[in-house]
Amino acid sequence: RSLSPDEEITVYDYVLKDNSNVNDIVEKLKDKYDDKIEITTLKDVLGVIDTISSLSMLIVMLVYTISVIFILAVVSMVCKKLFIVEQHDYGIYKSLGFTSGRLRTQFSLRFICIGILGVAFGLVVSVCLNKTLLGLMLKSLGITNFNANYTAASIIMPIVIMCVTLFGCSFFSSRRIKKVNTKILIVE
């Protein structure tokens, strides 16, 4: 409902020294004034804030989940193509004495280096544009004052999650290196 200029809104805040009687006072006021007034206690407000906090954590977890799924899909596709291109090279490395485990680790470390560059770029863009862009989007929802607070955990956690996911997925996808044999060099 939109407010017209003729409507008058009056809000009173009361702070009680002894808050043990809050429920009794609220009930008496509701009995006396019925639906002429609306009463909101601090407990009600804190309940709403708790719900909003829970929903925001759920949204963060959803974003992490979608990011991990996206990484799994992209890395597995890239690893397949990269393995086909570099299969001959892995045969040469194995003939020089490299083990499959070392080659797989080296393969995965390349993905982490690229991931760190991507995270650094994303972090710079986020710090520069996050407050402005989210402020504009939230303003359309009625939230006019948005502050983006960065903590060490809010910066380090995504970096760790993305790098571990990149390493794990690329290491798993590089399992084909085990099957590469030096006999591949004889064909040429």
20-62: per-residue pLDDT in tens? 878 888 888 888 887 777 777 777 777 888 888 888 889 889 9
Q: Residue 121 has what pLDDT?
A: 92
With bands split at pLDDT 50, 70 and 90, how would you rate the model's confidence at 185? low
Q: What are the b/e assignments for 86-115, b being 16+ CB within 10 Å?
A: beeebbebbeeeeebeebbeebbeebeeeb
Higher pLDDT pick, 72 / 48: 72
Q: Residue 111 has what pLDDT?
A: 86
Helix pair angle (100-139, 42-95), 10° resolution: 150
pTM: 0.67
